Structure 1
Amino acid sequence: MDQLLALRVFLRIAESGAFSKAADAMNIPRPTVTKLVQDLERHLGTRLLQRTTRRVSLTPEGLAYCERARRLIADLDEMDEAAAGARVQARGRIRVDIGSVLANMILIPALPDFRARYPELHIDLGVSDRPVDLIGEGVDCVVRGGALPDTSLVARRIADLDWVTCASPVYLKARGRPKHPSDLTAREHRPGDAARVPGHAIVGYFSSLTGRAFPLEFHRGEEHLQVSGQTVVAVNESTAHLSALLSGMGLGQAFKFMAQPHVANDRLRLVLTDWTRPRHPLYVVYPASRHLSAKVRLFVDWVAEVFAPFDDARA
């Protein structure tokens, strides 16, 4: 039995809660994963994992063994990196996940620089706006924004992004330019009058996790407004949201950096510019660990460098 490999497999199963997830994350056949755990338990003379049809959990003996094994593997990795030097630190594969528009407009255009610096460090890039289970899916780090409810993760703030409210010239020609956020919703023309002002068509964005649409937000001095309006289309992916705005389907809010190129060529126009929305904090997030591997540390530092020019808090 390769006890070191068995320990690594055991730790991955303990983190992900499934033999199959550990096999996929480590690129090891499922039967090999099963045999390694069985050999390890036979070697120790005790059961480390409790198997059920839905999940794998640690036994009391497994929990105690897991804590010591985690420290041992972290120390071993750190020792190897220190002995091998920088050459080993820049070799291997990293699994990263990032939102669509952040990938297409910021990260991917910068990847040639990363490859030039670290030609032996390879990236598996997952691109989507859905929430990712870092441990369960074997992802090393993600770039995400907004509230971060999982306190077991480490989050490094890399930028704060401004929002703009915008629509295409075609849409604004047909529907007019709003002068106040209240113009976005249908309303009575005046008290007692049955005639209604139609409001505006909204291109919305809904959460992949909850399915609920996010309202538009407007701040000006002490005034804070949230507007839902008539959502004619809602998407849960940022590149699609931008495409819907460019197509003239309606009015919406987008990050300033993604709207700016289209504002410059007059495919989008800004509206309600005297109103703001709170900046969107952006983080690179990775699992909490006493030891952060050298290759992930390199990538995290590089990502912070890449996103620095887009930090509106520094402007």
Structure 2
Amino acid sequence: MHNLEHLLIFIRVAEMRSFSRAAESMGIQKGRASTVVRQLEEDLGVRLLHRTTRSVQLTEDGRSFQERARELLTDFDDLQSMFAEDGVALRGRLRVDLPTELARTTIVPALPDFMTAYPELELEMSSTDRQVDLVEEGFDCVLRLGPIGDETLIARPLGRLRMVNAASPAYLARHGTPRALEDLHRQGHRAVHYGRTLGARPYGWEYPTGEAYATLPLPGALHVNSVQTYEAAGLAGLGLIQAAFTGIHRHLESGALVEILPDLRPEPLDVSLVVAHRRNLSRRVRIFMKWIEEVLTPYLE
């Protein structure tokens, strides 16, 4: 157990790239964290970390040791809980990353029940729309929308997230409600354009064409690079939007937004839980992944 604690300290220092921040997060003295890592290096006969006055970085040996240490701690966690029932004594730290809007509108509102069921679990939740590096940044699992893009990762598909076309009542009162695709140009509609990079060419208005999807160019004076700003622009009547149902369903229910062209919805987004390795998933990771799937199921196709 003493040696396992040393591994935990080393992993936290490596993940946070700081002895002081790692020590603070674990409730120990900075000097203890430094002593533990130095003793590990002496015992192993290799340097695990490059130290500077501002940060620490893993050496190549350190990267290899960190990966094996994570596997060892996961195996130990499984050994401790192999006879435990799902609702019993789920302990330890779980580090996850979620898309910002999905976290805000769907995951976090459902989180109190999960935390009540597992009060001894320490959850670290990152919320970002960039593709994080699972191994480098120390995430146990991440939830991703769209293509994974990295064949070395293990993805568990959950389904496809329903998308809808929407506009505010005030906008529709000015431009009219489109009933068919050709109405978008005939009635002079404008779209709010979303893209991760400002200045990039707009994607266009997406619609189904039998077995595939196509895009129709639509003018628009506003280009944004934030999902939250995109939805806010739709609510403000600045143009048509195409958004995930999870993010705007409450606005559709309240009447702040109105769904348009329901037979011409854009392509659903693939939703996947992603981990770095198929084997050695700790019990807390498996339980969290199962819970995420249950939360999202009502919104998936």
Distance 1:180 1:260, change over 3 A: same
Distance 1:83 1:31, change over 3 A: farther
Q: Which residue matches 1:266? A: 255
Q: Which residue matches 1:58? A: 59
Structure 2 contact 87–117 (Cα < 8 Å) conserved = no
Structure 1 contact 3–40 (Cα < 8 Å) conserved = no
Structure 1 contact 25–138 (Cα < 8 Å) conserved = no
Higher mean displacement: 19-28 or 150-159? 19-28
Q: Which residue matches 2:111? A: 111
Q: What do residues 214-257 of structure 1 show as CA deviations (whole Å, max 9, x unaligned)?
A: 44321122674224533332333333322211110111101234
In structure 1, the residue corresponding to 2:221 is in which secondary structure?
strand
Structure 1 contact 25–137 (Cα < 8 Å) conserved = no
Larger radius of gyration, structure 1 or 2? 1
Please state how far the C-alpha of 1:30 moved relative to its aligned partner. 5.6
Q: Distance in 2 between matches of 1:116 and 1:70?
A: 27
Q: Which residue matches 2:241? A: 252
TM-score normalised by length of structure 2? 0.78
In structure 1, the residue corresponding to 2:77 is in which secondary structure?
helix
Q: Which residue matches 2:146? A: 146
Q: Distance in 1 between matches of 2:134 and 2:20?
A: 11
Distance 1:44 1:140, change over 3 A: closer
Structure 2 contact 154–275 (Cα < 8 Å) conserved = yes
Distance 1:200 1:40, change over 3 A: same
Distance 1:5 1:213, change over 3 A: farther
Check if 1:125 corresponds to 2:125: yes
Distance 1:106 1:21, change over 3 A: farther
Distance 1:25 1:77, change over 3 A: farther
In structure 2, the residue corresponding to 1:201 is in which secondary structure?
coil
Correspondence 1:1-315 to 2 at 5 A:
3-11=3-11, 16=15, 18-19=17-18, 23=22, 27=26, 32-49=32-49, 56-59=57-60, 69-82=69-82, 89-178=89-178, 181=181, 184=184, 199-207=188-196, 214-221=203-210, 224-288=213-277, 290-312=279-301
Letter of the aligned partner of 2:129 in structure 1? D
Distance 1:114 1:211, change over 3 A: farther
Please state how far the C-alpha of 1:297 moved relative to its aligned partner. 1.5
Q: Distance in 2 between matches of 1:249 and 1:214?
A: 17
In structure 1, the gaps of 5 or more residues are: 186-196
Q: Distance in 2 between matches of 1:29 and 1:231?
A: 55
Q: Distance in 1 between matches of 2:154 and 2:252?
A: 36
Q: Distance in 2 between matches of 1:215 and 1:146?
A: 17
TM-score normalised by length of structure 1? 0.75
Distance 1:204 1:37, change over 3 A: same
Q: Distance in 2 between matches of 1:263 and 1:107?
A: 19
Cα RMSD, aligned residues only? 3.8
Letter of the aligned partner of 1:292 in structure 2? L
Q: Distance in 2 between matches of 1:300 and 1:63?
A: 26
Please state how far the C-alpha of 1:282 moved relative to its aligned partner. 1.3
Distance 1:59 1:158, change over 3 A: closer
Higher mean displacement: 163-172 or 101-110? 101-110
